[in-house]
Structure 1
Amino acid sequence: MTPVWNRITLAAALAMATLSPALHAQESAKPPAKDGKAAVVNGVVIPQSRVDQLVKERISQGQPDTPQLRESVKESLITQEVVTQEAVRQGIDKRPEVATRLELARQNVLIRAYLEDYFAKNPVTDQAVKQEYDRLKTQLGDKEYKARHILVETEAEAKSLISQLKGGASFEKLAAEKSKDPGSKENGGDLGWNSPASYVKPFAEALTKLQKGQMTQQPVQTSFGWHVIKLEDVRPLKAPALEEVQDNIRQQLQQQALMKLVAQLRQKAKIE
């Protein structure tokens, strides 16, 4: 039962990490080669564009564009090329498990580039974020509830707990002893303050019918099991401002768009 406003992150494609720390970072940088070659290692050209790409990525991560950075990146690429050539010379690239890892790395790079291109062409607009915010705000309602619950596996167990509670047993004590919900049992079944939208439908419906201080007189079944619910308090709900949650909403909408895109691609594909 996850609150609506929890952050939903967009799954990102994996990027290959650099092989080794940068070398000679303090040396004076040499000017870029006019012929587009950053370096030549045993006859293999390391293009200046490769250096430029990695420098661009470092800058996007907050590093300043300096001659030392460019020299560091170039030296790192030279080191990678030297080691890569030796690995190929020894035939390591022909090993089945290595070939598989290389193909997976290639796919990951292509996937990341494809997704970057897709969302550049199909951005989530501010208007779409605002519409989703308004929808979620309406869904949340104008009240939030402080509740406790005890979760058990069977209806019979839940009925037994209700009988014990009617007889004067402590809700908190029974929750700590009997509840199957690891997230709340140690706190006496306390779920904290949440809107009904934070819960699955049967739980939310039962909760909103209770008066302050009441508990459910019959067990409530959800996909998690059987619940005994106690409402401790109700208060007006103040939804977070759009500015506080717009990044999370944008990521959620991107995730939804991504899932739809993948479903369409799978539908078009011939999968045997």
Structure 2
Amino acid sequence: MNPKSSALRVSLAAAALGLWLPVHAQNVAIVNGKPVPKSRVDVLMQQATRGGQQPVTPELEARVREEVVLREIFAQEAERRGIAQSANYRNQMELARQTILIRELFADWQRKNPVTEAEARAEYDKFKAQASGTEYRARHILVETEDEAKKLIAQIKGGAKFEDLAAKHSKDPGSASNGGDLDFAKADAYVPEFGQAMAKLAKGQLTEAPVKTQFGWHVIRLEDTREAQFPPFEDVRAQIEQQLAQVKMQQYQQSLRDKAKTDFKFSQ
């Protein structure tokens, strides 16, 4: 054998191996002669760890690699059986294609149209202005009849403890166990009859007559008042930005719907 010819074949083989190795390194496995690209593992890992709910671990990576190879095995069998040619498969594939396209469309739009700090602060200022005013801390006892309420007022004026009577007689399950305490709230947080009667009281004052609402008859005592409390901007910024992002997305979706030419009538 010609030494030069032998050396040439060795060099060509080495070069071919050098080209093949990087390509092969991009594959997780070869299934029935078909390469399974590592990119599928990367995509599945991104889905599995999206939002940081599941940490990346060697065990997770191993499970994902196995899942990708199993998918290829099963998909090849489905192809062999001609399932990919069925109408049901094609319809489902079209729906899946649309789902992915729509998801990526909205994700791309959100990346390019983020909620700005100025928008978040403007929304914060609007909420804060709406929440300003006086908050009232009251106790109440809810009963079914006016006579019951009158008797309770008489007992309280006679020295009975409001909290004890509320725990024993009030039909309001949310406050009875707390001695009728309703915590701080603005007057308009209650039904009008209750809120108006409460707002007329001075601190420590008891309603002289029972107050009737749709829920029954109330005995009310005002404990305290304060200016409405509102959390600092940074404490609620993330929540405001999330809400604004949802509103902006809904507006974007509506704009696409309005611009589309279709004979379909959407329900209102």
Query: Same fold, TM exceeding 0.5?
Result: yes
CA spacing shift, 1:121–1:148, aligned 2, 3 Å: farther
Match of 2:203, SS?
A: coil
Q: Whole-Å Cα distance in 1 between the matches of residues 242 and 168 of structure 2?
A: 39
Which residue of 1 is the match for residue 39 of structure 2? 49
Match of 2:265, SS?
A: coil
Q: Whole-Å Cα distance in 1 between the matches of residues 129 and 74 of structure 2?
A: 58
Match of 1:144 among 135, 141, 144: 135
User: Aligned Cα RMSD in Å?
Assistant: 4.8
C-alpha displacement of 1:242: 0.9
- Specify every segment of 5 or more residues in structure 1 that has no aligned partner in the other structure, as ranges: 1-30
Q: Whole-Å Cα distance in 2 between the matches of residues 63 and 136 of structure 1?
A: 35
Which residue of 2 is the match for residue 20 of structure 1? none
Q: Whole-Å Cα distance in 1 between the matches of residues 101 and 213 of structure 2?
A: 45
Match of 2:152 among 158, 165, 184: 165
Which residue of 2 is the match for residue 231 of structure 1? 222
Match of 1:190 among 181, 195, 212: 181
Higher Rg of the two aligned structures: 2
Q: Does structure 2 conserve the Cα–Cα contact (< 8 Å) formed by 1:149 and 1:227?
A: no
Q: Tell me whether 142-151 or 246-255 shows the greater mean CA deviation.
A: 142-151
CA spacing shift, 1:52–1:194, aligned 2, 3 Å: same
CA spacing shift, 1:136–1:201, aligned 2, 3 Å: farther
CA spacing shift, 1:69–1:167, aligned 2, 3 Å: closer
Q: Percent identity?
A: 41
Match of 1:131, SS?
A: helix
C-alpha displacement of 1:44: 6.4
Question: Equivalent residues in 2 for 1:31-110 (5 A)?
Answer: 33=23, 37-42=27-32, 46-57=36-47, 58=49, 61=52, 73-82=64-73
- Say how many residue pairs are matched: 231
Q: Whole-Å Cα distance in 1 between the matches of residues 191 and 113 of structure 2?
A: 33
Q: Whole-Å Cα distance in 2 between the matches of residues 243 and 65 of structure 1?
A: 30
TM-score (norm 1): 0.58
Which residue of 2 is the match for residue 22 of structure 1? none
Q: Whole-Å Cα distance in 1 between the matches of residues 239 and 43 of structure 2?
A: 29
CA spacing shift, 1:111–1:144, aligned 2, 3 Å: farther
Q: Does structure 2 conserve the Cα–Cα contact (< 8 Å) formed by 1:33 and 1:48?
A: no
Q: Does 1:270 align with 2:265?
A: yes
TM-score (norm 2): 0.59
